[in-house]
Structure 1
Amino acid sequence: MGRVTLVALLLCLTAGALLVQAEDPYLFFEWKVTYGTVAPLGVPQQGILINGQFPGPRINCTSNNNIVVNVFNQLDEPFLLTWAGVQQRKNSWQDGTLGTMCPIQPGKNFTYHFQVKDQIGTYLYFPTTGLHKAAGGIGTLNVHSRDLIPVPFDRPADEFNVVLGDWYNKGHKSLKRLLDSGRTIGRPDGIQINGKSAKVGDKVEPLVTMETGKTYRYRVCNAGMKTSVNFRVQGHIMKLVELEGSHTVQNTYDSLDLHVGQCLSVLVTADQEPKDYYLVVSSRFTKKVLSSVAIIRYSNGKAGSASPAIPPPPPENSQGIAWSMNQFRSFRWNLTASAARPNPQGSYHYGQINITRTIKIVNSAGQVGGKLRYAINGISHEDKETPLKLAEYFGVSEKVFQYNLVKDEAPASAAVTVAPSVVNATFRNFVEIIFENREKTIQTWNLDGYSFFAVAIEPGRWSPEKRKNYNLLDAVSRHNIHVYPGSWAAVMTTLDNAGMWNLRSEMRERAYLGQQLYFSVLSPERSLRDEYNLPDNHPLCGGLVEKLPLPPPYIAN
């Protein structure tokens, strides 16, 4: 080998080694999804376990880590997980919804690979197939800040994940049969906290144990099916420090409302008499108030010493909505904290960006063929055997769906049409989305692939002059928004994440019966800078694309 060739080879090897060393770390997980008996409310039923656990395993990672999760489906039905709130830049292939992926068939496995790019915070994962979420398969993903980025509070003594939400004693298959027959799943039977439920006075193991004088971080998520909740810690103040991936202005609260799909972090200091205290969770805006408690124990306290005088819930009805709305307005983004910023960098000056499109979304319910359906602007989404993203990628979308059935304004007619629902969106446009709730129940919405700025929630109907009431300075960047009965909410975001992304009701019954759509955000340059190619391990399903040649790959430019 000549000297010049040898030197060139050594240079290439050195450069390759540097690239390998510079790559962000990988975390690997292997999950087995099985059935198992669970009884959160004391009634044994078929649950969905991950590695034998309910709630499922917690993923602890750091901003920019690559997450690799090999999921083995040992159920008797197809299964998918979504990673709600994890933005997965350029990678809707891993989103875990039936519009973007083929479900994992029984006896098969699929390896998810995504990166928590420029993110911090607390996130949920849960199943998007059938009514599996009602049986389990839920858990949390914690993204910590890198060491070189200071966090705006002292390191807590420990962290506790609390996954709570409403629960049904009917099994997930029974609930699905109800919806398939045209009926509703009705009201839940109770509230679970980390898979358990208790009443004041019950002898139960503590949820967490604290040491006097130390401060702890509670990462709390509402993984329920349809019910907003309020939680409070008996005798203690909670300091809000993070909301759906954003550091917040550190206000203190006696209690906090938490809507379906939402996660937040609070700091709690063990500064009271050393004994037992109750974590209290109760339903919000329901005719019958459901509640559950868990024990928070001081390590040097006496077991069973919690006072039965638990803190009361906030008011209900219109007074309660006003109370909750004011609490929402108290949430502010911590602009002085050093942390990951939403992409594109600089979009935290969102109040200075011109709106290029306004989409007003109105949720509704109706009957189609004598069966209950839920809709967005009159269109009730249905999934097809061939995922929408695959059909679009292979250039056969016209055989599966029609773009823009959902219009930017809700139609005057109350009629509901059932069809796959895909909205064509322009890459990098700055859009305003208005959620207008004309029903008598609270709603919660999630947008995959993005964070948005939650700039306003107000009663009544939205009109352009309402923009004068927007928070255009420090609205929290988040991915879920709730809308009170007879109210509206406004969010703003830059559609810079190419792919096909799910906008859905977080009420699982509503999403299953059609209250969702997909934003198709295509990069005009077909560049790897904007979107990844179809992964090698991504299955092809539906009978439409399996035998087609692969499209020309995206290229780096």
Structure 2
Amino acid sequence: MTRLHPLVLGMIASLAGSLFANSPVSAAPNNGGSVSKCADAYGQCGGLDWKGPRCCPFGWACSKSNDWYSQCKKTLDGSGCTNGEWSQCGGREYQGEKCCVKGTYCKYDSEWWSYCAAKPSSSHYSSSSHRPTTTTHKPTTTTHKPTSTHKPTTMTHKPTTTTHKPTTTTHKPTTTTHKPTTTTHKPTSTPPVSYPTVANKPKELRLSPKWDINAPPQDREFYWEISEVPGAIDGFNRTMLVVNGQYPGPLIEVNNGDTVVVHVTNRLPEAVTLHWHGLHQNGTQWQDGPSGVTQCPIRPGVSYTYRFLVHDVDQYGTYWWHAHRRALYIDGITGPLIVHARNDPLKRGRDFDIDQVIMLHDHYHQLSEVITEGLLTAQGFNGSAIAPSPKSMVINGVGIYNCDFATVNDTCRQLTQLDLPELRFPPNKRVRLRFIHEGAHPPFRVSVDEHVLNVIEADDTPVHALPVHRIQIATAQRYSAILDTTGHKVGDSFYLRSQMNTNCLGLPFTDLDPDGRLIIRIGEDHDDLPRTLPTSVDWSDPTTGNCTDLNPALLSPIVARDAPSHVDHVRVFNSSFAVPSGIFKWTINDITFENFAFDPLLQRVQRGESIPPMRTAVITTGLEVIDLVIQNIQGADHPFHLHNTPMYVLSSGPGLITPEQASRLQHNLTNPLRRDTITVAPGTYQVVRLITDVPGVSLLHCHIVFHQVQGLLGVIVSQPDRIRQFQIPQDNLDLCAGGNTSAIDPGRKRSLPPPPALLPAEPVAAAAVKSSRRSLRHWLDF
């Protein structure tokens, strides 16, 4: 197919517009000689085997994204160029338009990414002075230096540098210069940025050895824009929801003691929130993110700033951020979050030499909203109430789908292993692989061919090295493991694999290849090495089996901390399911959590109101120690995640137990594993111990997102008297203005009437429990 220059496309669009001035769109002959309407704005207008319209409305041009997909985009200047500032204009394998709007030029960022940047002579970006204690990520450069040099008092932990100079940061996507000290957050008036296709930035996932762990505490400021962007990360073209046009999303990298400041502008057609997975919001609970729990959602066109201090003494390690409304994050709104600390026992240069993030994702070809709406009907999604099977395994934002399974109306380009970016590591190095499961449903088993992995971190807890062939990682969990390249020579290659445990999928997966791979090649990025497929051999250990976690008894924390020996209360969360009105729902204590997005629980408690009956809650009055028994009565395996408070993982077993039986269990209290996400299999229980030392409303939920939207959530309300003293910032409260406080999100397609007036919160309240068909009520009387 002949590729038309953007200038020619612009001339065609202008000519067609003048010929058909009385029509909202232009018309053009199709291949058969008949007349058809042009594609709609942002509609497909070209690509191999494309049989639809190839013209665009007046003022729009057919912009090529790749050989398989072209899209009508608004022309931004007289040349017909559709690439605005920050749009991709080049990079390895890039097939889209390479022009840039007037006033910008195509700036090289990496082998895989060039973008339209403002010309240096332009006054579009005014310079501004910044406080020495603030790191602001500007859009005009790709290497970001702070405005002052920080001289650390010691060089014990990092002798290679004294200047904070991170090489991977996010960029301000709007055209307004913001002062880093601004704390008022208004909707931006700048136009949305147009991203031609989802960008993959693999270099962002290699943490810089020049990071200054000794830098003084400072603001780490990020400017994010969330928007819809077409993407084909596994070859299949679909709409994705992403931050700043990229997937995985931007890296957040900070030191313990820093303040994270994220300016978010929502360009989506629906509301969104963000959650900082694994971080404790101690004193900033309203910034935790879950819609309807700690905040109201950020509506379309609105800007909001998340600002919180990372200060708890044990907050360091591997985290991630993601959307926390409905199931939106699986559409692409995720990214890594790394916290460094001088007291972290795992140190670069001693325990590892290279620091590499590995993002793991099960990919779907329909928007999460489509899947969610289907699951919440009596018919289910594709005729089933069970969470659907994914379509491909994606590692660091890339994967392979078998296009033979695509339908005639789909746009799919068949990728091969050599189309995907590689991981390159030098010989004789210890590589820290930070595995993050940012997917939706099944656990993955990760491995490296012919190499033992030494697990050194579980969630954010450093542990003594545990050698394994495969690591099973459940949704939302994180593990770090050491890969040793000793003995290799430059040019050697082998596979890193992530294999879905298909035993944990409830539906057939005929079009799924559960085995995702990236090539690891020994050498430096600048080495000219042949791109050949490895001949390495996978381990013989099973890739499927039980849907359980690594044995917590084998994961011994390096920083020893015994669990409290005294327990104030034993509480039970029983997970099961029900089918009210023919619609499948998950339950905790026989209650399907009803999420009222514009009536957040945190604000209710802060106003002195009680928890409504359809939101299962455990309430503690003060600083208490709780044993929480999480029981999976029936259904699927559930990876439960607790916000704000780490869990001491004490005991597990088959069957179901009462609180009295749980109180008599003999636990190992000597330095048990601490983590924030655990998997509970059907017909089993787990006992975890909590210290309610962070006042707030902490969500406990299954992290399989389809189970979340079907109601598998509960909350722990800690120290309500302290919550009533919270001074929730006005900009957070303003997110609720004008919202329907009786609307359930997600859930039924109707709104409930306003609930009756509620009494003030009782000093101690048990979970609201209904009578159970399985005669479990006596188990739940606390």
Q: TM-score per shorter chain, which class?
A: 0.7 to 0.9
- Structure 1 residues 315 and 265: CA distance shift in structure 2, 3 A: closer
1:245: how far off? Answer: 1.4
| 1:14-413 alignment, distance < 5 Å | 24-98=217-291, 99-117=293-311, 118=313, 119-146=315-342, 151=346, 154=350, 156-182=352-378, 183=380, 184=385, 185-198=387-400, 202-274=417-489, 275-284=492-501, 285-286=503-504, 290-299=514-523, 302-307=530-535, 309-314=537-542, 316-317=544-545, 320=546, 327-335=551-559, 348-352=561-565, 354-384=566-596, 385-395=598-608, 397=609, 401-402=611-612, 405=613
1:533: how far off? Answer: 1.6
* Separation (CA, whole Å) in 1 of partners of 2:564 and 2:718: 23
Match of 1:460 in 2: 655
Match of 2:5 in 1: none
* Separation (CA, whole Å) in 1 of partners of 2:739 and 2:440: 33
* Separation (CA, whole Å) in 2 of partners of 1:150 and 1:375: 40
Tell me the TM-score normalised to structure 1 length: 0.82
* Separation (CA, whole Å) in 1 of partners of 2:558 and 2:371: 42
Deviation larger for 444-453 or 129-138: 129-138
Kept in 1: contact 2:361–2:395 (CA 8 A): yes
SS at match of 2:257: coil
| 1:413-492 alignment, distance < 5 Å | 419-462=614-657, 468=665, 470-492=667-689
* Separation (CA, whole Å) in 2 of partners of 1:497 and 1:217: 31
Q: For this pair of structures, how many residues does the alignment match? A: 488
Kept in 2: contact 1:77–1:105 (CA 8 A): yes
Over the aligned positions, Cα root-mean-square deviation in angstroms equals 2.7
Kept in 1: contact 2:294–2:697 (CA 8 A): yes
1:277: how far off? Answer: 1.1
Kept in 1: contact 2:393–2:400 (CA 8 A): no
Kept in 2: contact 1:454–1:491 (CA 8 A): yes
SS at match of 1:176: helix
Match of 1:415 in 2: none
1:175: how far off? Answer: 1.0
* Separation (CA, whole Å) in 1 of partners of 2:226 and 2:633: 39
Kept in 2: contact 1:504–1:516 (CA 8 A): yes
Match of 2:50 in 1: none
* Separation (CA, whole Å) in 2 of partners of 1:371 and 1:525: 39
* Separation (CA, whole Å) in 2 of partners of 1:83 and 1:59: 10
Deviation larger for 35-44 or 229-238: 35-44
* Separation (CA, whole Å) in 2 of partners of 1:335 and 1:393: 35
**Aligned-partner residue type, residue 145 of structure 1:** A
Which structure's residues are more often strand, by fraction? 1
SS at match of 1:36: strand
SS at match of 1:225: coil
Match of 1:536 among 718, 730, 734: 730
- Structure 1 residues 307 and 512: CA distance shift in structure 2, 3 A: same
- Structure 1 residues 542 and 535: CA distance shift in structure 2, 3 A: closer
Match of 2:3 in 1: none
SS at match of 2:280: coil
1:465: how far off? Answer: 5.4
1:60: how far off? Answer: 0.8
* Separation (CA, whole Å) in 1 of partners of 2:493 and 2:726: 51
Match of 2:24 in 1: none
Kept in 1: contact 2:632–2:681 (CA 8 A): yes
- Structure 1 residues 265 and 532: CA distance shift in structure 2, 3 A: farther
1:217: how far off? Answer: 1.2
**Aligned-partner residue type, residue 66 of structure 1:** T
Query: After TM superposition, where is structure 1 displaced by more than 4 Å over at least 4 residues in a row?
Result: 463-469, 542-546
SS at match of 1:503: strand
| Cα distance per residue 1:72-114 (max 9 Å; x no partner) | 1010000101111101112210010121101111011110011
* Separation (CA, whole Å) in 2 of partners of 1:500 and 1:238: 37
* Separation (CA, whole Å) in 2 of partners of 1:186 and 1:280: 23
* Separation (CA, whole Å) in 2 of partners of 1:131 and 1:356: 35
Kept in 2: contact 1:204–1:295 (CA 8 A): no
* Separation (CA, whole Å) in 2 of partners of 1:45 and 1:30: 25
Fraction of identical pairs, as percent: 21
* Separation (CA, whole Å) in 2 of partners of 1:277 and 1:544: 53
SS at match of 1:509: helix
Q: Which runs of 5+ in 2 are unaligned?
A: 1-180, 182-214, 402-414, 742-782
Greater gyration radius? 2
Kept in 1: contact 2:571–2:618 (CA 8 A): no
1:23: how far off? Answer: 8.3
1:62: how far off? Answer: 1.0
- Structure 1 residues 537 and 293: CA distance shift in structure 2, 3 A: same
* Separation (CA, whole Å) in 1 of partners of 2:564 and 2:294: 32
**Aligned-partner residue type, residue 225 of structure 2:** K
- Structure 1 residues 194 and 544: CA distance shift in structure 2, 3 A: closer
Tell me the TM-score normalised to structure 2 length: 0.59
Match of 2:702 in 1: 505
| Cα distance per residue 1:415-472 (max 9 Å; x no partner) | xxxx233432222110011111133521111111111111223333335556645331
Q: Per chain length, whose mean CA-contact separation is higher, i.e. which structure has more relative contact order (CA < 8 Å, sep 6+)?
A: 1
1:220: how far off? Answer: 0.7
* Separation (CA, whole Å) in 2 of partners of 1:439 and 1:234: 36
* Separation (CA, whole Å) in 2 of partners of 1:472 and 1:217: 30
Kept in 2: contact 1:193–1:292 (CA 8 A): yes
* Separation (CA, whole Å) in 2 of partners of 1:295 and 1:443: 31
